[in-house]
Amino acid sequence: MFDELPREDVTATIDAMIDELLDAAGITQPPIDAIALAQSQLDIVIVVDQRQPQRGRAQRIVGKKQIYLKPEPREERHQWTVAHEIGEHLKAELFSRLGIDPSQAKAMAGESLANLFAYRLLVPTRCFVEDVKRFDYDLLALKKRYPTSSHEVIAMRFLDLPAPCVVTIIDNERITRRRSNAVRTKRELTPIEERCWRHVAERGEPASMRDDHWAVSAWPIHELEWRREVLRSVPMDSESL
């Protein structure tokens, strides 16, 4: 049922709810602190528990919702977990606004809805649309603007904008995500993407390259034992579509 709805209707409904939540909290620009929002606006108790086996777990005690978080090396993981749980918390209201009976909705649809909510809460559309213009899609500059969000979440939000593009996530020389918002593409990198990626992976600095068909920008997110590169590829002509 959820999958049958136009994506534009679903995302517009989510964005409207997020705008209401941010307005109620008096938040007009990033960063978006999902943990603070959960506590101040939704009366959700956040607990960091060393014994917690999974990344996050929600439960209700004496009528009050609590989210238990596993200690993480990156604050962005806590932010994502809580943003996702806020989506779960508001899922019934979201279904109602979409005209869906929550009792008839599939579990997987609800999970997808919570994921969409988390992406759009940490990187709100009303701010992001202008920020990508301001920073010319520079992922590293946008990360400074949205410090509670991961590089990956910000990059995947590029796909929600009108400009056709392909976003690729490469972890330790292996493609882990490759998605497009309009362009038909294969799993493998194109020659210019391969060239740009290798340049960034070897030198550890952002780069942009283009050929007759693609304009590619790539950014390194390198740590001691883990290396990630993020690519945004934009088609230059109709042959790439």
Are β-strands 166-171 and 214-222 bridged in parallel, bridged antiparallel, or unpaired? unpaired
- Residue that finishes a domain, picked among 71, 96, 125: 125
Average pLDDT score, the chain: 88
Q: Do 116 and 200 have their domain in common?
A: no
pLDDT band (50, 70, 90) for residue 239: very low
Q: Where does the pLDDT of residue 240 fall: very low under 50, low under 70, confident under 90, or very high at 90 and above?
A: very low
* Helix, strand and coil percent figures for the chain, each rounded to 5: 45, 20, 30
The residue among 87, 89, 74, 80 whose CA lies nearest residue 35 is: 80
Tell me, yes or no, whether 230 lies in a domain: yes
Q: How confident is the model at residue 148 (pLDDT cuts 50, 70, 90)?
A: very high
Identify whether the C-beta of residue 151 lies closer than 8 Å to the C-beta of residue 219.
yes
pTM equals 0.89
Residue 209 lies in a domain: yes
CATH code for the domain of 78: 1.10.10.2910
Does 6 fall in a domain? Answer: yes
Domain containing 90 equals 2-125
Question: Do 7 and 107 reside in the same domain of the chain?
Answer: yes
pLDDT at position 154 over 80? yes
Residues 110 and 215 in one domain: no
Same domain, 36 and 114: yes
Position 83 in a domain = yes
Place of tokens 């809805």: 113
Percent residues over pLDDT 90 in the chain? 66
Q: How many domains does the chain have?
A: 2
Residue-wise pLDDT tens digits, 39-98:
999 988 887 765 655 555 555 555 677 777 877 768 899 899 999 999 988 988 999 998
